[in-house]
């Protein structure tokens, strides 16, 4: 009997390890590296690299600038996923970036999802980073890093919105982890640095007056 129990326990552990290995092997990976440049007074695409489940599309021609839309074909972000975005806007070029839909970050059973965003704008360039909101579901875990490098006379319009649960659907993020690290350099000098970390009982922390005073969304512009 003891041998049978030991064998059953061993098989159960192997099954758990197999499930974890399968889960890890099926994590979403996506990357986009894009640069644009000015040609005859019009912003044109330069090099474009796409991999995994992250894609970028250019919906329509424009007179001077260029618009691009990110599409995550994975249908959302879960624990252990990783997405990398690198954007470079050449001298005098104009680029506007957005997303096809709000990005949803689902609950994680293990590692946090990782998002790395790098934005560069050369002399006289104009860059607008305007994604739709990021929605965090209960028990979501995500670590995001945004690095921005601007020339002295480049301009940036940036708006990031994070929603902690869909209130209209009766959902609320009670626990999880949200780490958001921003670094902004102009002319090579660090001019803005901020790191937000919310973990554990996020619902209780958002209820505090000094944190969100009961709010369920934050925005940076």
Q: Model confidence over 142-185: pLDDT tens digits?
A: 999 999 999 999 999 999 999 998 877 777 888 999 999 999 99
What is the extent of the structural domain holding 110? 28-220
Does residue 189 surpass a pLDDT of 90?
yes
Which residues lie across from 220 on neighbouring strands?
160
SS3 110: coil
Token look-up 């028990």 returns 139
Helices (H), the chain: 2-25, 202-207
Q: Which residue has the higher pLDDT, 130 or 9?
A: 130
Does residue 7 surpass a pLDDT of 70?
no
Residue 180 resides in a domain: yes
Q: Phi/psi zone of residue 191: left (φ > 0), alpha (ψ -120 to 50 degrees), beta?
A: alpha
Please answer whether residues 67 and 94 qualify as being in contact, where contact means their C-beta atoms are separated by less than 8 angstroms.
no
Pick from 148, 77, 89: which is nearest to 114 by CA? 77
Does residue 89 surpass a pLDDT of 80?
yes
Nearest-10 Cα torsion for 168, 161, 52, 45: 130
Instruction: Say how many Å lie between the first and final Cα of the chain, rounded.
Output: 66
Token readout for 96 is 């506007």
Residue 44 resides in a domain: yes
Residue 77 resides in a domain: yes
Residue 186 resides in a domain: yes
Residue 199 resides in a domain: yes
Q: Within a 10 A sphere around the Cβ of 212, how many other Cβ atoms?
A: 16
Residue 10 resides in a domain: no
Pick from 142, 148, 143: which is nearest to 128 by CA? 148
Q: Within a 10 A sphere around the Cβ of 178, how many other Cβ atoms?
A: 22
What pLDDT does residue 21 have? Answer: 54
Does residue 216 surpass a pLDDT of 70?
yes
Residue 207 resides in a domain: yes
Please answer whether residues 143 and 115 qualify as being in contact, where contact means their C-beta atoms are separated by less than 8 angstroms.
yes
Residue 11 resides in a domain: no
DSSP secondary structure letters along 31-52: EEEEEEEEETTEEEEEEEEEEE
pLDDT digits (tens, 9 = 90+) for 65-85: 999 999 999 989 999 999 999
For 199, half-sphere exposure in the C-beta direction (CA atoms, 13 angstrom radius) is 10
Model confidence, pTM: 0.85
Domain tally for the chain?
Answer: 1
Instruction: Write down the number of H helices and E strands in the chain.
Output: 2, 16
The mean pLDDT value of the chain amounts to 89
């Amino acid at each position: 009997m003891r041998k049978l129990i030991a064998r059953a326990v061993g098989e159960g552990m192997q099954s758990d390890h197999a499930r974890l290995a399968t889960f890890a092997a099926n994590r979403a990976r996506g990357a986009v590296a894009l640069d644009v440049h000015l040609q005859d007074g019009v912003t044109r695409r330069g090099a474009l690299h796409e991999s995994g489940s992250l894609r970028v599309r250019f919906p329509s021609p424009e007179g001077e600038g260029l618009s691009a839309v990110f599409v995550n074909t994975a249908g959302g972000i879960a624990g252990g996923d990783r997405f990398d975005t690198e954007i470079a806007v050449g001298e005098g070029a104009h680029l506007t970036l957005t997303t096809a839909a709000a990005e949803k970050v689902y609950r994680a059973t293990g590692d946090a999802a990782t998002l790395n965003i790098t934005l560069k704008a050369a002399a006289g360039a104009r860059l607008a980073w305007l994604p739709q909101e990021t929605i965090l579901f209960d028990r979501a875990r995500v670590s995001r890093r945004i690095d921005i490098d601007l020339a002295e006379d480049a301009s940036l319009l940036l708006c990031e919105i994070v929603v902690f649960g869909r209130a209209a659907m009766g959902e609320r993020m009670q626990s999880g982890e949200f780490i958001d690290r921003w670094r902004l350099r102009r002319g090579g000098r660090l001019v803005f640095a901020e790191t937000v970390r919310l973990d554990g009982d996020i619902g209780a922390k958002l209820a505090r007056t000094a944190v969100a005073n009961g709010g369920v969304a934050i925005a940076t512009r």
